[in-house]
Amino acid sequence: MAIRLIAGLGNIGKEYEDTRHNAGFWLVDELVRQQGASLSREAKFFGQAGRVSLSGHPVWLLEPSTYMNRSGQSVAALAGFYRIAPEEILIVHDELDLLPGQVKMKKGGGHAGHNGLKDIQARLGTPDFWRMRLGIGHPRSLNLAQPVVDFVLHAPSREHRQAIDDCIAHALPCLADFAAGQMEVGVMKLHRRTP
Q: Which of 21, 93, 114, 160 is catalytic?
A: 21
Give the separation between CA 180 and CA 178, rounded to whole angstroms.
5
Q: Is 154 labeled as catalytic in the residue annotation? A: no
Give the separation between CA 77 and CA 82, rounded to whole angstroms.
9
Residue positions annotated with a catalytic role:
21
